[in-house]
DNA sequence: ACTACTCCCTGCCAGC
DNA sequence: TGCTGGCAGGGAGTAG
């Protein structure tokens, strides 16, 4: 589920519940996520206020009043849910309704944040590829999880010149290059496929072919950057894509999956105007790629 | 330094 | 119906 648009959607959903609120209580039901939560995880959260909730690539970053930053990643199947008790409902009653509402998913609700605002924020992750880690803010620049990340694709630093430089001389496919978080941070399997289709570039094309030998951008790089920015912007506007899990923090669904042009559309007609091609599925680096061999060159 | 592959874990679905 | 294999949005670690 979670690529940049989904994570950004989650961030916006969590913001009202968490920003400015204090962790009144933190429950860890299962600490063995991608790696075990630190022993002092709860202690470093409880009593601290969230001063800001940001995002870097697919990571959520909660700044705390203690000077720590809580880093959260959704992995493949992670989601957050915000339960907001009605104003007149007391704490115990709210808890009861929360557990009732969440009963069917309780086995995968690994962490629950009880915020001073009354909101209860749960982290649910069946596959447990998600993760949480707390580091002091000053150490963030050196944080191994974040250190090697490429630029934010919606930021000013991400342009054709930069992308061409990063792809210069790369022996791998364009698809593999774009999914590499060191080249550009936040794209995943879905949005790489969608962006390449919009740019009419084949996922099999050598990454180096979007740059001149000296590393300058060519027309392909320009188109690709435009396509990436557009597809991400469109997806965020639609609340991301919901495939197998929902992801909006109120339990609702993202809508962008209805606008996929190639992803998960094997055998269906290409959606490029004037193209009569058929979407094909291939495997690259062990993952599915969807593309139109007719209009993507 | 690169690139490709394996593995982490659970759930779901098509095919037998 | 019930089992089995394959596949899933990510990415760290490792072997070439």
- pLDDT tens-digit series, residues A158-199: 999 999 999 999 999 999 999 999 999 999 999 999 999 999
Q: Which CATH number fits domain A160-291: 1.10.8.50, 1.10.287.3510, 1.20.1530.20, 3.30.9.100?
A: 1.10.8.50
* Cβ-contact A55, A152 below 8 angstroms: no
Catalytic residue among A58, A175, A261, A265: A58
> In the predicted model, is pLDDT for residue A88 greater than 80?
no
- Pairwise CA distance, residues A260 & A269, whole Å: 12
Confidence check: pLDDT of A89 > 60: no
Which nucleotide lies at the shortest CA–C1' distance from A285?
B4
Measured to protein CB atoms, the chain C nucleotides within 7 Å are: 7-12
CA of A173 to C1' of C16 (A): 19
Determine the Cα–Cα distance for residues A29 and A26; give it in Å rounded to an integer.
Answer: 10
Q: Is A58 a catalytic residue?
A: yes
Query: Measuring CA to CA, which residue among A188, A178, A146, A180 is closest to residue A60?
Result: A146
Q: Is the CB of A108 under 7 A from strand B?
A: yes
> pLDDT digits over A1-49, tens only?
699 999 999 999 999 999 999 999 999 999 999 999 999 999 999 999 9
A129 CB inside 7 Å of strand B: yes
Q: What is the nearest nucleotide to A241, using C1' and CA? A: C9
Q: Is the pTM of this model over 0.85?
A: yes
Going from the C-alpha of A184 to that of each of A104, A129, A162, A176, A219, the distances in angstroms are: 37, 21, 10, 11, 18
Ordered DSSP codes for A173-188? BHHHHHH-TTTSSS--
Radius of gyration of chain A (CA): 21
Instruction: Indicate if the pLDDT at residue A90 is higher than 60.
Output: no
Active-site hit among A46, A126, A287, A293: A287
- What number of other Cβ atoms are within 10 A of residue A244's Cβ? 9
Model pLDDT, residue A104: 44
Is residue A105 over pLDDT 60? no
Q: What is the pLDDT of residue A195?
A: 98
Instruction: Identify which of A258, A195, A281 has the alpha carbon closest to the alpha carbon of residue A3.
Output: A195
CATH number belonging to domain A4-142: 3.20.190.10
Exactly one of A2, A85, A153, A203 is catalytic; name it: A2
Residue A226 among the catalytic residues:
no
State which protein residues have CB closer than 7 Å to strand C. A 1-3, 6, 34, 57-58, 73, 75-76, 127, 129, 145, 179, 181, 188-190, 240-245, 247, 286-288
Query: For chain A, which residues make up each domain, given as ranges?
Result: 4-142, 160-291
Provide the token pair at A161.
């010149």
| Tokens at A245, concatenated | 């899990």
Q: Would you state the pLDDT for residue A98?
A: 63
Gap from A243 CA to C2 C1', in Å? 26
pLDDT of residue A161: 98
Mean residue pLDDT of chain A comes to 93
pLDDT band at A97 (very low <50, low <70, confident <90, very high): low
Positions on chain B within 7 A of a protein C-beta: 2-12
Average pLDDT of the segment spanning A125-154 = 97
DSSP notation for A218-276: -HHHHHHHHHHHHHHHHHHHTT---SSS--STTS----GGGG-SSTT-TTSBP-STT--
DSSP label at residue A59: E
**How many angstroms separate the Cα of A213 from the Cα of each of A205, A216, A260?**
16, 7, 34
Instruction: Say how far A1 CA is from C7 C1', in Å.
Output: 14
Separation of alpha carbons A138 and A67, rounded Å? 8
**Cβ of residue A172 lies below 7 Å from strand B:** yes
Cα gap A261→A195, rounded to integer Å: 10
The CA distance from A118 to A10, in Å, is 19
For A211-237, how does the pLDDT look when each residue is reduced to its tens digit (9 = 90+)? 999 999 999 999 999 999 999 999 999
- A268/A17 Cα distance (integer angstroms): 41
Q: Work out the number of other CB atoms within 10 angstroms of the CB of residue A147.
A: 10
| Nearest nucleotide over every DNA/RNA strand to the A7 CA, judged by C1' | C9
How far, in Å, is the CA of A2 from the C1' of nucleotide C12?
A: 18
- Cα(A73)–Cα(A62) distance, integer angstroms: 12
Residue A3 is a catalytic residue: yes
Per-residue b/e over A153-187, b at no fewer than 16 CB within 10 Å?
beeeebbbebbbbbbbebebbbbbbbbbbebbbbb
A2 is catalytic: yes
Q: Is the CB of A137 under 7 A from strand B?
A: no
pLDDT at A245: 75
């Amino acid at each position: 589920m979670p690529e940049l648009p989904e994570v950004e959607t989650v961030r916006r959903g969590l913001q009202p519940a968490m920003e400015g609120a204090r962790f009144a209580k933190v429950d860890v039901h299962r600490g063995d996520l991608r790696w075990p939560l630190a022993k002092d995880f709860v202690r470093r959260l409880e009593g601290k206020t969230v001063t800001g909730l940001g995002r870097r690539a697919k990571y959520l970053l909660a700044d705390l009043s203690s000077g720590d930053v809580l880093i959260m990643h959704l992995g493949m199947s992670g989601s957050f849910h915000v339960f907001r008790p009605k104003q007149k409902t007391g704490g115990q009653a709210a808890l009861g309704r929360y557990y009732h509402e969440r009963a069917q998913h309780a086995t995968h609700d690994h962490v629950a944040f009880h915020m001073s605002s009354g909101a209860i924020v749960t982290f649910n992750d069946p596959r447990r590829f998600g993760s949480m880690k707390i580091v002091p803010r000053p150490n963030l620049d050196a944080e191994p999880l974040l250190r090697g990340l490429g630029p934010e694709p919606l930021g000013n630093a991400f342009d054709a010149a930069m992308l061409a430089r990063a792809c210069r001389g790369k022996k791998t496919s364009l698809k593999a290059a774009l999914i590499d978080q060191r080249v550009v941070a936040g794209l995943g399997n879905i949005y790489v496929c969608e962006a390449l289709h919009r740019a009419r570039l084949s996922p099999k094309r050598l990454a180096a072919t979007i740059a001149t030998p000296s590393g300058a951008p060519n027309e392909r790089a320009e188109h690709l950057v435009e396509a990436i920015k557009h597809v991400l912007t469109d997806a965020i506007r639609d609340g991301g894509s919901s495939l197998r899990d929902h992801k909006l923090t109120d339990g609702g669904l993202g809508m962008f999956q209805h606008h996929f042009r190639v992803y998960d559309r094997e055998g269906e007609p290409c959606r490029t105007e004037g193209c009569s091609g058929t979407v094909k599925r291939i495997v690259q680096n062990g993952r599915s790629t969807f593309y139109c061999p007719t209009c993507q060159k």
